[in-house]
Structure 1
Amino acid sequence: MNLTIDLKERDKELFVSISGEIDAYTAPQLKENLQPSAEKLNQVITVDLSGVSYMDSTGLGVFVGLFKTIKKNNGQLILSGLSERLRRLFDITGLGDIMNIKSEVEGGVE
């Protein structure tokens, strides 16, 4: 399955819409697209995951890495649009307690 990543920057915030599957094959593409923004100071990245049908531990690892990089640079990572399955994945691993996860899709990604 392919992964589609749509990036839209507005002011100092990056809105990301992802659709497809995030797994060992597509996770490097996701990291490559988001890492440069994560390294900017005070960057806010809002990621809409409503189009993601599947994510494995490799995908979780990408988000953990992004979260650490963004936090180190005084930024913020916001995840939204998680399906029940994805939400459970973040909660089971404890990431739901430390990451900013919104129940509704926000921002400028349509």
Structure 2
Amino acid sequence: MVTNNKFTLRTENREDQTIVFVGGEFDLEVATQMRAVMEPLIELVDRRLTLNLQDLKYIDSTGIGILISIVKARHARSAPFDVEHVPTSIRKLFDMTGITPFLAKAE
């Protein structure tokens, strides 16, 4: 679990799925922490990797870049990946940048 004044990151393992709960502000300041948590999870190809963004308040271009790198890495490994519970304001940003189709049940 990663927690600071403006960002939280928590993982939860279920049967064949790892869910990463991302909350607060996902920006350049927390990028290193996010990468450190995600890198080993990306390699777990026998498990679905899901990002739950329900509590995400803000994401900048660095955060979007990390999401895209996760999509690419999971796709290259033919490993299941998806993003769930995206807040409306964040979904609008994803729609404007054109990444929404890559985040829904990307495999």
TM category, shorter: 0.7 to 0.9
Q: Aligned residue for 1:75?
A: 79
Checking the alignment, whether the CA contact within 8 Å between 1:13 and 1:43 is kept in structure 2 is: yes
Query: For residue 46 of structure 1, what is the aligned residue in structure 2?
Result: 50
Structure 1: which 4+ aligned runs deviate by more than 3 Å?
none
- Structure 2 counterpart SS, 1:82: coil
Letter of the aligned partner of 1:93 in structure 2? T
Please report how far the alpha carbon of residue 43 of structure 1 lies from its aligned counterpart in structure 2 after TM superposition: 3.1
1:50-103: CA deviation from partner (whole Å, max 9, x where unpaired): 1111100000011001111111111122111111111011111111122216xx
**Who is 2:67 aligned against?**
63
Matched, 1:97 2:89: no
- Structure 1 residue 28: Cα displacement: 1.7
1:16, CA displacement in angstroms? 1.2
- Note the C-alpha offset of 1:18: 1.3
Question: RMSD over aligned Cα, in angstroms?
Answer: 1.4
Identity %: 25
Q: Is the 8 A contact 2:50 2:82 kept in 1?
A: yes
* Partner Cα separation in structure 2 for residue 19 and residue 98 of structure 1: 21
Using CA pairs below 8 Å that are at least 6 residues apart, which structure has the higher relative contact order? 1
Aligned length, in residue pairs: 101
Normalized against structure 2, the TM-score is what? 0.85
Mark the runs of 5 or more structure 1 residues left unpaired by the alignment: 102-110
**Larger proportion of helix:** 2
